[in-house]
Amino acid sequence: MMKLATAVISAGILISTVSLGHAQIPATGIQDNKSSAVTSRTTDTIRLAQSSTVQKTNNSQVKDLLKNQNKADANAGTVSIMTIRNIGGPFMVAAHNLSTLLDAGEQFEEMRIIPIIARGKVQNLWDILYLRGVDVGFVQTDILEYLKDDPRYDSIRNRIRYITLMFPEEVHVVARKEIKSLQDLEGKTVSINAKGTGSSVVGTLLFRRLGINAKLINEDTSRAIAKMKKGEIHAHFNVLGKPARPVVRIKKEDGLHLLPIPYSDAVQDVYLPSKFTSEDYPNLVPEGVEIPTIAAGNVLAVFNWPKSHERYQKVAKFVDAFFSKFELLKQPGFHPKWKEVNLAAQVPGWTRFQPAQEWLDKNPRVIPTPSSASQLKDEFSRFLSESGISAEIANTKEMNILFEKFLQWRSTRPVAQTQQ
C-alpha cells in the first residue's frame, strides 16, 4: 500500500519518497501523475486542517476579547480632553495623570480618558462648542473678556461651563535688549504666538487695555526667538507655567530678556500677579532680582449639555470620579501643580457645570476652612506686596476689586500654604 513519507524542498527541487511495501522508490523532479496527485491531495488536506485550527483559535480569542463588550459599553465611559500642543507641559501631563488615575474596567469600559493634542486654548473653546466627540478641555479664563465684542458672546457664555479652576500660567514677554518696557513696543513688531493659543489672547487683550499700538503677528516660539535674534521682531508672548522650557533654553549671549508686566489697574480684573526670579530663569534674571509679571487663570471647561443628554451623564460620571479621587493627584508620581488646584475655587464671570457644583455641595470637606481674620489680613498684605501695590493708594472701590482678585489668587495657592 502506497504511503507518503516526507516532502522537503531542496535546491528548488521537490524531493519525495514514496513507500511501496518495504521498497522505497525515490522520485526526483520527475513524478508520475498518480504520485503527484497523491502528494497534492495530502498537502491540501494538511493545509485545510491547519487553516481550520487557526480559524477556530482566532475566533475563540476574539470571543474572549469581546466578551460582555459592545459599542455602547466602549463609548459610555470614554471622555476626551482637549489639551495643548506643548508636549511635556503641565496641561498635557495633567491630562495623562487623569487617564492614569481614572481609567477603569477590564477593557476600560467603566472609564477611559483620551487626551487630544490641540492647537491651543482658544481653539479648545471652539472645539468644545462645535467639534464632534470633544467632551472637556483646558481653556483660559480671560477668553470671555476677549470675546466681549463678539456678536456670539451671549450665546457662548450660555453654552460653556467650567468644572474646576486649574493652575494659572505666567505670561512671559521675551524681548530684545533695547526694549525696556511694554510701552517701548509702540509701533514695533511683536509675536503673540501661534494662532489659536492662549498667548494670542493675552497679547491682544493686554495691548488693547494698555493702549499700545504694536504690529501683532503670529509665530510659534522657536521661530519667534530665531527672528528676535536677527532683529526681525522685537518681542514674543508665551503663556506657560514657570519655569517654561522654551524660556529656560535662552542663553545670556542671545541678547534677549524678560520684560516686566506691572500689576496695574488695566489688568487687575482679569489676571493674577506673579513674578520671575533667578530660581526660575538663572540665565535671564540676576540673583536677588524679581521681575513682576501677570498670570492667566485656566479652567477645565465643558459644553452646557441638557441634563437629559447622554453626554451630560457621561461628563457627570467623569466629574464624580475626578473629584472623588482628587487628593490622590497630590501624591508623588503626579504633576506637582495639582497641589495648586482648589476644587471649590470660584471663577468670576463663569458658571460651574451643575454636577460639579452638586458634588461640592454634598462634599463640603474639600472646601478649605476659612482663616481667622488676622491670618486673612496677613495673606491679603502678602498679596498686595507681591502685586507691587500699596494699600494706602487704593480707594474703597479699588480695594474691593483687589480683595476679589486676592480671593481668586488665594484659591490657587496650595492649601498647606494658605493655612499655615
Task: Look at residue 8 in the predicted model and tell me its pLDDT.
Answer: 38
Shared domain check, 202 and 282? yes
Residue 136: Cβ-neighbour burial (10 angstroms; 0-12, 13-18, 19+): buried
Shared domain check, 304 and 267? no
Task: Look at residue 30 in the predicted model and tell me its pLDDT.
Answer: 38
Nearest to 257 by CA among 241, 281, 232: 281
Shared domain check, 302 and 162? yes
Shared domain check, 373 and 279? no
Task: Look at residue 104 in the predicted model and tell me its pLDDT.
Answer: 84
Q: How many domains does the chain have?
A: 4
Task: Look at residue 147 in the predicted model and tell me its pLDDT.
Answer: 93
Nearest to 205 by CA among 110, 269, 137: 269
Shared domain check, 282 and 173? yes
Shared domain check, 372 and 351? no
Backbone angles phi, psi at 118, to 5 degrees: -115, 170
Last residue of a domain, one of 65, 89, 119: 65
Shared domain check, 88 and 174? no
Task: Look at residue 217 in the predicted model and tell me its pLDDT.
Answer: 96
Task: Look at residue 38 in the predicted model and tell me its pLDDT.
Answer: 45
Task: Look at residue 61 in the predicted model and tell me its pLDDT.
Answer: 56
CA-to-CA distance for 246 and 12, rounded, in angstroms? 62
Query: In tens digits, what is the pLDDT along the chain, a chain of 420 residues?
Result: 444 443 333 333 333 333 333 344 344 443 344 344 445 555 555 555 555 555 555 565 555 555 555 665 667 788 999 998 777 788 999 999 999 999 887 766 788 999 998 888 989 999 999 999 899 999 999 999 999 999 999 999 999 999 999 999 999 999 999 999 999 999 999 999 998 899 999 999 999 999 999 999 999 999 999 999 999 999 999 999 888 889 999 998 999 999 999 998 889 889 988 999 999 999 999 999 999 999 999 999 999 999 999 999 999 999 999 999 999 999 999 999 998 899 998 898 899 999 999 999 998 876 554 444 445 555 666 666 655 555 554 555 555 566 656 665 655 554 433 332
- Cell 487663570 sits at which residue? 297
CA-to-CA distance for 63 and 69, rounded, in angstroms? 10
Shared domain check, 155 and 11? no
What is the sign of the dihedral through the CA atoms of 196, 198, 201 and 207? negative
Last residue of a domain, one of 277, 296, 315: 296
Helix (H, G, I), strand (E, B) or coil at 8: strand
CA-to-CA distance for 150 and 176, rounded, in angstroms? 34
CA-to-CA distance for 287 and 199, rounded, in angstroms? 27
Q: Are strands 291-296 and 235-240 parallel, antiparallel or unpaired?
A: unpaired
CA-to-CA distance for 242 and 369, rounded, in angstroms? 28
pTM of the predicted model, to two decimals?
A: 0.71
Shared domain check, 92 and 161? yes
Shared domain check, 203 and 283? yes
Q: How many residues does the chain have?
A: 420
Task: Pull the grid cell for residue 231.
Answer: 532683529
Q: Are strands 272-276 and 256-258 parallel, antiparallel or unpaired?
A: unpaired
Shared domain check, 153 and 225? no
Shared domain check, 262 and 181? yes
Task: Look at residue 68 in the predicted model and tell me its pLDDT.
Answer: 55
Give me the domain span that covers residue 258: 169-296
CA-to-CA distance for 414 and 41, rounded, in angstroms? 78
- Which residue pairs, CB below 8 angstroms and at least 24 apart, start in 336-340? 337/90, 337/94, 337/167, 337/241, 338/94, 338/97, 338/167, 339/414, 340/167, 340/168, 340/412, 340/413, 340/414
Give the CATH number of the domain where residue 184 resides.
3.40.190.10
